[in-house]
Amino acid sequence: MSRVAFTTFAILKKPYGNPEVQEFDDLTPPTFEEAERSPGFIARAKEIPGQEHLTNFERDWGDWGKFDVPRFYTGGRTNETDSRASTLSLWVDLDSVVSFVYSGLHRSTLRRRHEWFLKPEWPTYAAWWVSDDTIPTWSDACRRLEYLHDHGPTPFAFSFRKPFAADGTPTRLRGKSEN
């Protein structure tokens, strides 16, 4: 058996705490809660509780590894200068990811991304298959995003537009994809 690892990456127009991006920051917790209730959701990278005073780069993420960002990120790494938004999660299949991404609160937030984020010159997400006993790391997520940027979709890292099945063959999604 396998499951889908999924990562997202974007750069905010202003660091967290700035009024220009506060609405996005306020929508993040309920969006995570919606993801966790979604059919097909398995787990997501969460820092060990009690580290709110530390930066994402300093926090302990447990089995998800040391926090990392792809080479596209040129922003700060302190709580006052951090301007990246990134996620890492596991899903039972690709259709479950697509269903979450393009529905509910995430869909409405996604439609407003131009208000909060720089226009990307890199992939804003990547998907790949992992074995049932694998928990992807932040470093792995960065490698997948960078690979997708440099080489395009392959079984190593792919998009919803050009997805691959767990066996590495090109496939089609059941749901609608917009990216």
- Is residue 178 pLDDT above 80, yes or no? no
Supply 143's token pair. 């490698």
Q: What is the pLDDT of residue 117?
A: 98
Q: How far apart are CA 119 and CA 136, in angstroms?
A: 27
- Is residue 137 pLDDT above 60, yes or no? yes
> What pTM was computed for the model?
0.95
Residue ranges of domains in the chain: 2-151
Tell me the CATH number of domain 2-151, given options 3.30.70.100, 3.90.180.10, 3.30.43.10, 1.10.150.170: 3.30.70.100
Q: How far apart are CA 163 and CA 138, in angstroms?
A: 21
Question: What single-letter amino acid sits at 15?
Answer: P
Q: What is the pLDDT of residue 24?
A: 98
Q: What is the pLDDT of residue 177?
A: 45
- Is residue 33 pLDDT above 90, yes or no? yes
What is the arithmetic mean of pLDDT over 33-61? 95
Contact partners, residue 43, CB within 8 Å, separation at least 6: 89, 90, 135
Q: What is the pLDDT of residue 179?
A: 47
State the chain's mean pLDDT as an integer: 95
Tens-digit pLDDT profile for residues 65-106: 999 999 999 999 999 999 999 999 999 999 999 999 999 999
Q: What is the pLDDT of residue 80?
A: 94
Q: How confident is the model at residue 175 (pLDDT cuts 50, 70, 90)?
A: low
